[in-house]
Structure 1
Amino acid sequence: MADYQPMTLEQRIGALQAENGKLIDSNNALTQTVVGKMGEINHALSDAQQDVNEAIARVESKTDQAILNFADSHSDINISYYDQIAHSKASLEITPDPEDESRSEWMLVPTTSSGYHIYPTVGALTKIHLAHGYSYAPGHSETPQYERDWSITYLQFVFANSSATSAQINEQLNASTLDLTRFGGWWNGSSTGTIPVLKLEHHHPYSRLFVRFVNHTFHAANTSNPPQNIVEFGGNATFAVDRVINYPRIKV
C-alpha cells in the first residue's frame, strides 16, 4: 500500500489555486478561439452578403436591359396602313393560277390612301391585322350537302416588292421553307397573323401587300376529292386589311 501523505490546509489551497489557474487559462484560450471563429464567420457573412448584393445588382441591370430591349424591339416598327375596305373573290375578279386552278394568282391588295409602301426587313416578324376575314363552305347549304361543292376558300398574304409578279412570288416561295398562314373563318371578326416578307432581286425595294385565294377540301365534306377551281367553288371569301406591321428587331 502506497504511503499516503496528508496535505496541510495551505497545500490544499495552493493545489486548488493551481487547478483554478489552469481552468482560467483554458477558458481564456477557448474564449479567444470562439472570438476568432466568430470574427471569421462575420467576415465570411460580410463577403457573402457583398456577393449577394453584387449578384442582385447584376440581375437587376440585366433585367432592366432586357426590358429596354423588349420595348425597343416592339416600338421600332415599319407600318403599312390600309383602308379597311372589304374585298372578295368576286370584287377582285381573281384569276386561277396557271400551275394550280385551286388557287388564284397573287395580286396587290387595293388601296385608296397613302402609307402602304414600306421597306420591310426580311426575316423579321411581320404581322397582318385584318379588320375582317370571312370564309365559308357553300356546300353546307346544298341538298345533299357537299355533293357539288366540297371546297372552302381561305386567304393567304405575303409582303413583297410591289412590282413582283405572281409567278416570281411563287418561285421564291417554292425555293424557301416559309409556311403561309391560312386566314378566314366562318365568322366576321378581326384577326392577326404572321406573314412572310419576300425580297426579289432586280426590283424596286418598295414593298406592298399581296393576297391570293386558296381552296381546300372542307373537312366536314368527309371526302378525299381534291380542292376545286378557285373561281367556281369554295364560296366568296372576303377580307379587309387594317395594317401590316414589320418588327425589324425581332427575327424569326
Structure 2
Amino acid sequence: MPELPEVETMRRGVAGIAGATIIAAERTPCAKRPIQIKPRIDHLNKRVAGVKIASVDRLGKRVVIRMETGDRIIMEPRMTGLVLVTDPPTDEHLRFRLRLKKCKHKELLFWDRRGLGQIALLSEKQYQAKLSDGSLGPDALEISRKDFPGRFNSSRREVKVALLEQSRIAGIGNIYASEILHLAHVHPQARCDRLSKKQWDRIFEFTVEVLETAIRHEGSTLSDGTYRNALNDEGSYQNEHRVYDRAGETCPSCGKGNVLRIVQAQRSTFYCKACQKKR
C-alpha cells in the first residue's frame, strides 16, 4: 500500500541516519515468508559494513540509502513494508536490520507483514542504469506541468489505470489516484487520449496538492492499521479522504451524488458519478 506520501514520510523519518556508519546488515530471524534480498545477505553485508551513509533519498515508492562509496540500498515496501528507526509493530514480521554507530539511532529496520517487500544493493552504475531503463517514470512531485500530459495523452488507457503505471510517472498509487481524479472532476474510466488540456492541467494541479497535503499529514493509515511512520505512529490523511473507501457516502464536493466503487485493473476505484461525469 505505501505510496509516495507514505514512503516520503518514512524517508523523512529515517533521514537522521545520514552520517552514521554501518556496523552490519542482517537478515533477521523470521518464520514467515522470506522477503527478497539481493545480493545474498552475507555478500551485501561485506559491501556495506564499515561504510558511512551519505544520505537517505526516495525513488518513487522506494527508500534509498546512499552510501559514500556510491552503493545504494533500495528498500521497496510494496504492500505492507515499513522502514523504521524504533521498535516495529511486531517482532515476528521483522525482516532486515542495519546496525549503526555514530548516530542517535542504533539501527534501521525493515518490517513487512505480508513479505512482499524487496531489498537490493545496487552499485552507482546499476542505479543509474535503473533510472534510464524505462521502468520508472519521473517522480510525481518533480515533473513539470508542461511535461505531465505528455506522459499520458497519447494512451488509449483509462486515466485511473494509467496514473498507476510507474513507468509513466512514479509514486501515485491506488488511494491517491482516486482522490486526485475526484478533485479534478475527471471520470476514472475516461480515456487518456480523450481528455482536454484543461483536464490535464487540473489533474496535474491536484496531483501536487493531494500528494503534498498527504505528506504533511504523514500519509494514510487505513483500517488494517498496517502503515506506520518511521516512529511507528499512524498517519492522519485517511481522515481527509474524500472518496477512497467511502462507497455509499454522500459526495463531500457536490453534496448530491453518492460515492461509487468500481474495479479497474483488479483494484478498487472510488468516484462520484455527479461530479465526475463520463463524457
TM-score (normalizing by structure 2)? 0.18
Structure of greater Rg: 1
- Higher RCO (CA 8 Å, separation ≥ 6 residues): 1
Which has the larger share of helix?
1
